[in-house]
Amino acid sequence: MKAVLGILLATILAACAVPGPREPDRYFILDAGITAPRSGAPVVVAPTTAAGFYDTQDIAYSRAPGTREYYRFNRWTERPQRSIHAQLAARLGGGPARDGLRLDTNLDEIYHDASEQPGTARIAITAELVDPAGRTVLARRTFSRSVPAASYDAPGAVHGFNRALAALIGDIEAWVAVEARPKAR
Partner 1 sequence: MEPEAKYTLVGAAALILVALLAAALVWLKSSGEGRDAHRFKIYFEKHSLEGLEPRSYVTMQGMKVGSVTGFRFSASRKGAVEVFISLDPGTPVRTSTTATTERHLVTGLATVRLANGSEDSPLLTESPEGEPYPVIQEGGSPMQQMTDTVSQLALSAGETMRRINTTLAPENIAAFTEILDNLRRVSRRADALLTKADATFDSLGGAADEVRAAAVALKTDADTLTKTYASLGTDAAASIGEIREAVRKMSADVDRLAKRADALLASGDEDLRDTARAVRAAAEALGNAAGRMRDPREVIYGPPEGGLGPGEKTR
Q: Work out how close the CB of 2 gets to partner 1 at its nearest, in angstroms, rounded to a whole number.
A: 27
Angle (deg, nearest 10), helices 154-179 and 80-88:
40
- The β-bridge relationship of strands 69-76 and 26-28 is parallel
Query: By C-beta, is 32 or 45 nearer to partner 1?
Result: 45
CB of 75 to partner 1, least distance (A): 9
Amino acid at 185: R
Binding site for partner 1 (CB under 8 A): 19-23, 44, 46-47, 49, 56-59, 61, 63, 69-74, 78-79, 82, 98, 102, 112, 114, 119, 151-157
- Exposed (0-12), middle (13-18) or buried (19+): which is 176, by Cβ within 10 Å? buried
State the nearest-atom distance from the C-beta of 21 to partner 1, in Å: 5
Can you tell me the distance from the alpha carbon of 134 to that of 142, in angstroms, rounded to the nearest whole number?
Answer: 23
Q: How far is the CB of 83 from partner 1 (least distance, A)?
A: 12
Q: Is the Cβ of residue 33 or residue 155 nearer to partner 1 in the bound state?
A: 155
